[in-house]
Amino acid sequence: MEKSPSIPGKTTAIVAYLTIVGAMIAMSMNSEPRHRFARFHTRQAFGLHIVFLGFALLNSQWGNVYGFYGLYIFYIVLWFYAFLGLLGNKEQEIPVLGAYFQKWFTFIQ
């Protein structure tokens, strides 16, 4: 059985997708040395978590249960899409929002 080549920063990128706290931990993990792969996926994960939390707060004020179902389905599908890209050693952006995450979160080094 052949192992795929190890990409620097892959462990940091995996941590970023766990929770919003994981994304913050990944930011500090990638401070030195800096890995391009980890930075890309940390931005994607941080953006995905922030969008989810923002819409969850908005929906909690709105009070529609079906909105939460849609939100969770949206979040889970995009999370799996991004995480499978990570496991495949790809820098694949989340559809629609991924390019914006890379521009908005340039503070993530």
Closest CA to 98 of 23, 27, 41: 41
- Please, which pLDDT band fits residue 45 given cuts at 50, 70 and 90? very high
> How far apart, in whole angstroms, are the C-alpha atoms of residue 10 and residue 13?
5
How far CA 45 is from CA of 30, 51, 57, 65, in Å, comes to 14, 10, 18, 25
Which structure tokens are listed for 55?
Answer: 């819409």
Residues 6+ apart with CB under 8 A from 34: 109
Q: Assess contact for 23 and 42: CB atoms under 8 A.
A: yes
Range with the poorest average pLDDT among 2-6, 58-62, 102-106: 2-6
Q: pLDDT tens digits, residue range 49-89?
A: 999 999 999 888 877 788 888 889 999 999 999 999 999 98
Q: How far apart are CA 59 and CA 67, in angstroms?
A: 7
Domain positions in the chain are 10-104
Residues 87 and 72: beta-carbon distance below 8 Å: no
pLDDT at 1: 45
Region of poorest pLDDT, from 20-24, 30-34, 96-100, 103-107: 30-34
- What length does the chain have? 109
